[in-house]
Homo-oligomer: A and B are copies of this chain.
Amino acid sequence: MSLVVVGSVALDTVETPRGRVDDALGGAALYFALAASFFTPVRMVGVVGADFPRATLDELRRRGIDLAGVEEAPGKTFRWTGRYHEDVNVRDTLHLDLGVFATFRPKLPDSYRDSRNVFLANIDPLLQASVLDQLPAPRIIGCDTMNHWILESRPALEHLLARVGILVINDEEARLLSGERNIVKAAAKILSMGPTSVLIKRGEYGVIQFAGDSVFAVPAFPLEEVTDPTGAGDCFAGGFMGELTRSGDTSAAGIRRAIVYGSVMGSFVVEDFGPRRLLQLERADIDRRYRQFVSLTDIDGD
């Protein structure tokens, strides 16, 4: 199996109540790829500027991340500067420079064409659709989006959703997309737009999945400290799609286990600034935390 991800690659400067990091690796596609690479080889589609560190690209390749689809364009890499509050659910964007990302048009190299699984991280739905157009035989199509596209590009987004299998969004986006405040009603409406499954991220409360008549809820891992929440949702998606690609098991149980692996990856990344924790992570850490999730949720357990 093979997994393609398209989305942003960035250099982030982040301030949280726990400290600060400058020019950390960032962007949805990059967080996704790092998390998914623990489960399966990943093929990335994105763009970086001339200022993007070469050593980082080498490091990503060593981790089984294929960068054939990452264009190196003249100009500057997408840069984001943000500040999180004591309540880490609240953040301000202090500075945003799209750089080479402003004119990004995803192009899949021929070597990616046989990919079966794809994740369309949060970018313009027209660009997300153009990636699908370049894949002859996709099997599992995952997708993220955000308030901006829901409000500003609704027709393109609805057109895209009709082609998507699994939508991964947060609760606020689910409410905005559906026009329903209640999460059960919101999910039903979203499923009627196309996806067979919707995964709604609820931050420190975990994830709830709706698919047909089935509902699955998994709490977030209770952490003593969240150092930097950046990338949590993208690592969730990466762990989820990575495990699903590895196992090839799209049964209800297979999807549930993949959701837990996604939750595991989301719980790790927030323990340190940027992707630092992911870069130190070993496979055994992942399996240990998966077992902790089982114990955390097992009614007859412990």
Cα A226 to Cα B183 in complex, Å, equals 11
- A11 neighbours in B (Cβ, 8 Å): none
Listed residue (A205, A225, A294) with the most chain B CB atoms within 10 angstroms of its CB: A205
Flag A198-238 by CB within 8 Å of B: 1 or 0 each.
Answer: 00001011101000001111110011111000000000000
Chain B residues near A223 (CB-CB < 8 A) = 182, 184
Asked if A107 is at the interface of the complex by the 8 Å CB criterion, the answer is no
Q: Does B222 contact A219, Cβ atoms closer than 8 Å?
A: no
The complex is assembled from copies of this chain, and their number is 2
Interface pair B217/A222, CB less than 8 Å apart: yes
- Interface membership of A252, Cβ < 8 A: yes
Complex: how many Å from CA A216 to CA B293?
A: 9
Q: Is A253 an interface residue (CB 8 A)?
A: yes
Q: Tally chain A residues at the interface, Cβ within 8 Å.
A: 38
Check A299 against B299 for contact (C-beta < 8 Å).
no
A19 within 8 Å of B (CB atoms) = no
Other-chain contact of A205, B205, B214, B216, B296 (Cβ < 8 Å): B205
A282 contacts B by Cβ under 8 Å? no
Of all chain B residues, the one with the shortest Cβ separation from A180 is: B224
Is A302's CB within 8 Å of the partner chain B? Answer: yes
Contact B86 A216 (CB under 8 A): no
Query: When A181-B86, A184-B222, A223-B184 are in contact, do A256 and B215 touch as well, CB less than 8 Å?
Result: no
Complex Cα distance A220/B295, Å?
A: 18
Residues of B within 8 Å of A202, CB to CB, are: 205
Name the residue among A224, A226, A260, A297 with the largest chain B CB count within 10 angstroms: A297
Q: How far is the CB of A30 from chain B (nearest CB, A)?
A: 28
* A185 contacts across to B, CB distance below 8 A: 224
What's the minimum C-beta distance from A165 to chain B, rounded to whole angstroms? 18
Chain A 270-300, CB within 8 Å of chain B: the 1/0 string? 0000000000000000000000011111111
> How many Å lie between the Cα of A87 and that of B181 in the bound state?
8
A300 touches B206 (CB 8 A): no
Whether A182 lies near B225 (C-beta < 8 A) is yes
For the complex formed, measure the closest distance between the CB of A186 and the CB atoms of chain B, giving whole angstroms: 10
Return 12 A-B CB contacts under 8 Å, by A number: A182-B223, A182-B224, A183-B204, A183-B222, A184-B224, A205-B206, A206-B217, A215-B295, A216-B297, A219-B219, A253-B299, A293-B299
Residues of A within 8 A of B (CB): 86-87, 181-185, 202, 204-206, 208, 214-219, 222-226, 252-253, 256-257, 260, 293-302
